Structures are given as C-alpha cells and as structure tokens.
Chains A and B, each alone.
Chain A
Amino acid sequence: MKKLVKSNKPTRLAFAERMVEYGEINQDFVVFEADIGYSTNSYLFDNQYPERYFQMGIAEFGMMASAAGMAANGRPVVVAGYGVFLTMRALESVRSFICYPNLNVKLMSSHGGTTAAIDGVTHQASEDMALMTSLPNMHVFAPCDSASSRALFDVTMETQGPVYCRLMRDSYYELYDESATFKCGGSNVLCEGDDLTIVSYGDILFQAIEAAEELRASGVSVEVVDAYSVKPLDWDTIGKSIAKTGRVIVAEGHQQRNGMAYEIACRMAKQGLSAKFDHLGLKDTFAESGAYPLLLDKYGLSAKHIIDVASEMLLEQELAV
C-alpha cells in the first residue's frame, strides 16, 4: 500500500483550487455561494472570475432553487456550502427542482460526516449520504485527499446531471498522486488481500488504512477498497472482493443506517453472496462537539474499532473451524 503523507490541505481547498483552474477549461459554469466562501474556499473562484460568481447570501434554499433556474437555462452551476445546509435545509429544492429535471447542478459540500467536529451537531453532515443517494439522478462522490479532490472535480463536471461531492473541513493525509484515476462508478483497490475486505471513503478511509496496516502486520491479509464513487457504487469490484475474502467491514463517517453499508448488504443478499458482514458508523445517534480524533474514539469510528470488529470476525471463523 502506498505510504500516507501528512496533509495540510483540506479536500475543500483542493477541490476549490481545481475549480478555479477548470474555470478556464469550461467557461460556461458559474458558482453560487451562501456567505461561507472563505470556508468552502469558493472565494478563490470569485477572485478569478467575479462575473461568474454569485453571492446569494445566507439563504441556502433559495440559492438552490435559483441554481436550478440557472441550470435549466443550460448553464452548469457549482453550489458551495456545508453538507447539512445543502442536503437538509435545501433538500426539497435539490430533490424536486434539480434531481427530478436532472439538471447540471453540482453540490460542493464541505464539513462532511463528523469532520466539522468542534462546531457540533448542527454543522456535522452525518445523514447527507443517505439523503443524497436516495435521490434519483443524483451522483455522490467522496474524495479523501488533494489528488482525488482535484480529479473528482473534473469527474463532477464531466458527469451529466446533479452531483453531490462530499468534502471535509480539515486535512488528514495525502494518499494518491496525480497519476491515480477516478471515474463515475469507480473505486480503487488500495491493497489486495484474501482474508478481509474493508470498504470505506473520505476521512474514515484513513482509519481503514491504519487498521489494515496493523492487521497485515499481524498476518491478516486485508484488501482495502476506496469506494469514492458512493453512487453509483462500483459493485463489480466490491462484490468480487467480498466473494474472494468472505469477510467485509464497511466503515463510514455517517449514520450506520442507510449508509453505503446498507447498499452493500442489500446487494450481497440479492446476489446470494454469503460473507461475514459488519459496519461502522454513527449508531443511530448524533455526535457532539469535540476534537476529531476524540469523536472517532467515542463514537466507534477509529482504526481501533475497525480492528476490534475484524478480530471478532476472524476469531468467529476460527472457532467455527
């Protein structure tokens, strides 16, 4: 597995930087902001293309419906904001006026999962994936680092129809280099293994990698899949991996309910794919304010929790033998 390098660039910044570069490649699209441009970093686009930047005020619902109007006239819109406000406050607008008519509105959404940590529950988007993946026509991506954010910005723009791209408040690690490839409906197998598949995305992917490294050191052959395309999901790759290893753990910075794990379990059941299954996420609870690593510890999302689940799974199998 590629070695992780500590990052000082949050995905929200890498995504915005690529958006500014892309402004030259695609001269049609515009950006809508709701007065957190210095946080989403959309202000960088304003600096470069003020005539293509619309400051709509602290008014997410109206902003989203206006984006629909702009896109209905053929001009793609990137709407910047925090996950909770874009996916929850403006939900009906996203559903009925962007997804239903299948418009080119791209949600550039920061503070995904519990990465808003210290800001508390009102700013933590821990149900966003459930909501966005439920909407017909919506695509959902979740980069984990700078290179994947840059690449997935391009994929976002090249994908026809609405896209929800989940970004993070803070920086964690750099995993990919510029040569890595990303596509709508794709995933990346970060390391191959025979005993256990761990599927994750975004910030929690780094917990999965840390857990995998520790498990590998103790002789467990772990396969880690970065399922950055949450919808459509790369079931071909994930399903084959689970069929090979016979054990799968899905780890996500999201409510357990209706997250990616639910789709994987559903597909396994439908296909009659029998394997040990478990999943990590918020256990039907809201988190709280606190430093990010402490939240992961308290709410069962850390590498240690993945290792515990894996150990139990592997032990069960041994006992069965």
Chain B
Amino acid sequence: MPKTAETRMSAQALGELANNIRLDILDMVYKAQSGHIGGSFSAAEIVTTLYFAEMRNLDPQNPRLPHRDRFVLSKGHACPVWYACLSRLGFFDAEHLDSLRKINSILQGHPDMKSTPGIDITTGSLGHGCASATGMALEGKAAKDQRRVYTVLGDGEINEGVVWETAMAAAKYELDNLVFFIDKNNLQMDGTSDEIMPLLSIEDKFRSFGWHVLTIDGHDIEQILCALDLARLTKGKPTCIVANTTKGKGVSFMEDVRNWHGKAPSTEEYQAARAELVA
C-alpha cells in the first residue's frame, strides 16, 4: 500500500533531507572536481520525495527485489542527486560518494546499472532513460505486478525525438503505472530553453499525446506529494508532472546561472555554497 499521510515523513522533514542531499551533491562534485550541480539541485526535492515518501518495496539489502517500484533518472548527468539518495537509504556506504567519477568507483560519471546498487538502468545519453522506464512499466503490466515506475527528465532533454516516440507508446499502452517528472528549470547547456529550442507548453504537448498532466512547483514538497497521489488515482493514462524548478536551487550564486550546468566549484565557491546550504 502507498504510504499514508500518517506514515510518510513530513513535508518539512523531507525538505530538510533534500537540503542535506544538496550538501552531499556539493561535496561529491567538489571532491571529484567534475560533475553536474545545477541539474542535481533542481531535482533535489523531487528525487528525495520519491525515494523517502513515495516508492515502495525498496530494500537496500536486496536491491533487485522483484516488486520494487522503479526509478529512472533519464537526465542521467544529474546522477549525484541519485547517488546521494541511494547512499542515505543504505544501498551503499557513504564513503563511496568521495569516489564519484574516479577510476574503479561504483559511482560512474553517468548512471551505470552494473556498477551501482539500486540503479536499475543505465542512462546518460538523453532521452533513452524515459523510454527504458516505459519498458519497465510495460513489463510491470505484463507481469501483472503493482509496481510503479518514476522517471525524471530534463526540460532540455525533451528536445530529443525519442521522448515523443515514447510518449505515444506509453499512452497507447495506457501505462497508468508510469510517471514522468519534467524538471523544468528552463536552462540548458548553451542557454535558456527558449533560446535553444522553444518548448511552448509542455503541458499541452503531453495532454495532446494522451497523458494525464499536472503542473507543480518542483521545490514544494506538499505539491510533489499531492501530484503523486493524483497520479496514483489516475487510471488508463500515464501521468506527466511538469515541475517548475530553478537550476542550481539553494545556492544564490548558482541559481539560474548557465555556467553551473557542469562546473565544479573552487574551494572558495565550495565554502560559500556550503555556508548557504547549512544556514
């Protein structure tokens, strides 16, 4: 059964946890001197809420439990947020976080299902993850399993044609066990989403493809929880939750700055960012 309001962590506790996840991300990328902070921060509340309040049958000691809910980070470059959540759940020891992107590490530069306990599918080439998630949802239906499949896509990522091929297939097969979050931070590597490829209304697009569509503030945990409840109640359609977010959320000088897509902080920047996050 889904966690009830009584058994769930409170929204406030989840918010605090998301902030600690941001600290983990900052530490990881600083130590690696490489990685993607901006898009990891924008998805922090979404991924934290999914793992700590929504997903069922997760067992860190048995990461491939058949009936577990699945999570796919389709915007794979934001994997520090995924690694931080998995580590805090106990899928692997926190000391591994220091080895991000280093040789022999279980934490690859982009998510690798063969290296990291708790990761069900390899991602990192944009667009593929959401299609793989759709395959997992299809398999769930075929197996008559109650599992749900959650995926987070970047708004830039939905430039990829495969996203729309997948959107059609998921609607065709009425995958009400599938949820897409669009982490809509409006910023891509080369500029704003409007400059790179105007997305117009993502909601209208998914709606016209036959999806149940919701729009939320992606940093508001109550709204994330509410949207997940609504998604679960929706039958016969996959749900797309368009989450308005801020790239680099939580650190003033990283917020909405294109350059923080894939930049490692200097020692000074690291200390300043840390001070803001612990304040």
Chain B residues in 8 Å Cβ range of A33: 190
6 further A-B contacts with Cβ under 8 Å, apart from A59-B159, A122-B123, are A35-B196, A38-B190, A57-B156, A120-B101, A121-B108, A289-B101
Interface set of A (CB-CB < 8 Å, partner B): 33, 35-39, 43, 55-59, 61-62, 84-85, 89, 118-123, 288-291, 294-295, 298
Assess the B159–A36 pair: CB atoms within 8 A. no
Assess the A290–B102 pair: CB atoms within 8 A. yes
Q: Report Cα–Cα, A78/B157, bound state, in Å.
A: 23
Q: Report Cα–Cα, A291/B105, bound state, in Å.
A: 11
Partner of B34, one of A37, A118, A298: A118
In this complex, what residue of B is CB-closest to A85? Answer: B125
30 contacts between A and B (CB under 8 A): A35-B159, A35-B188, A35-B190, A36-B189, A37-B189, A38-B189, A55-B191, A57-B159, A57-B196, A57-B197, A58-B127, A58-B157, A58-B159, A59-B160, A85-B125, A119-B101, A119-B110, A120-B108, A120-B124, A122-B110, A122-B123, A288-B103, A288-B104, A289-B102, A289-B103, A289-B107, A290-B105, A291-B102, A294-B103, A295-B103
Q: Which of B109-126 contact A (CB under 8 A)?
A: 109-110, 112, 115, 122-126
Q: Which of B99-158 contact A (CB under 8 A)?
A: 101-105, 107-110, 112, 115, 122-127, 156-157
**How far in angstroms is the closest Cβ of chain A from B150?**
21
Going nearest first, the 6 A-B pairs with the smallest beta carbon separation are A290-B103, A57-B197, A122-B124, A120-B109, A57-B159, A58-B159
Q: Report Cα–Cα, A39/B34, bound state, in Å.
A: 14
Q: Report Cα–Cα, A56/B103, bound state, in Å.
A: 34
**How far in angstroms is the closest Cβ of chain B from A88?**
8
B238-269 near A? 1/0 per residue, CB < 8 Å: 00000000000000000000000000000000
Partner of B110, one of A62, A85, A120, A295: A120
Q: Report Cα–Cα, A289/B127, bound state, in Å.
A: 21
In this complex, what residue of B is CB-closest to A33? Answer: B190
**How far in angstroms is the closest Cβ of chain A from B38?**
13
Main secondary structure, interface of A, reads helix
In this complex, what residue of B is CB-closest to A120? Answer: B109
Chain A-chain B contacts (Cβ-Cβ < 8 Å), number: 93
Chain B residues in 8 Å Cβ range of A294: 103
**How far in angstroms is the closest Cβ of chain B from A94?**
16
**How far in angstroms is the closest Cβ of chain B from A121?**
7
Partner of A55, one of B34, B104, B195: B195
**How far in angstroms is the closest Cβ of chain A from B165?**
11
In this complex, what residue of B is CB-closest to A56? Answer: B197
Chain B residues in 8 Å Cβ range of A55: 190-191, 195-197
Question: Within 8 Å of chain A (Cβ to Cβ): is B169?
Answer: no
Q: Report Cα–Cα, A121/B103, bound state, in Å.
A: 12
In this complex, what residue of B is CB-closest to A59? Answer: B159
**How far in angstroms is the closest Cβ of chain B from A90?**
11
Assess the B125–A118 pair: CB atoms within 8 A. no
Q: Which of B67-114 contact A (CB under 8 A)?
A: 76, 101-105, 107-110, 112
Q: Which residue, B108, B122, B156, has most C-beta atoms of chain A within 10 A?
A: B108
Q: Report Cα–Cα, A61/B191, bound state, in Å.
A: 21
Q: Report Cα–Cα, A189/B160, bound state, in Å.
A: 43
Q: Report Cα–Cα, A79/B103, bound state, in Å.
A: 32
Q: Report Cα–Cα, A291/B101, bound state, in Å.
A: 8
Assess the A120–B112 pair: CB atoms within 8 A. yes
Assess the B125–A289 pair: CB atoms within 8 A. no
Given contacts A36-B190, A118-B34, are A289 and B105 in contact (CB under 8 A)?
Answer: yes
Partner of A122, one of B125, B160, B189, B195: B125
Assess the A289–B109 pair: CB atoms within 8 A. yes
Chain B residues in 8 Å Cβ range of A121: 108, 110, 112
**How far in angstroms is the closest Cβ of chain B from A238?**
33
Chain B residues in 8 Å Cβ range of A298: 103
In this complex, what residue of B is CB-closest to A42? Answer: B190
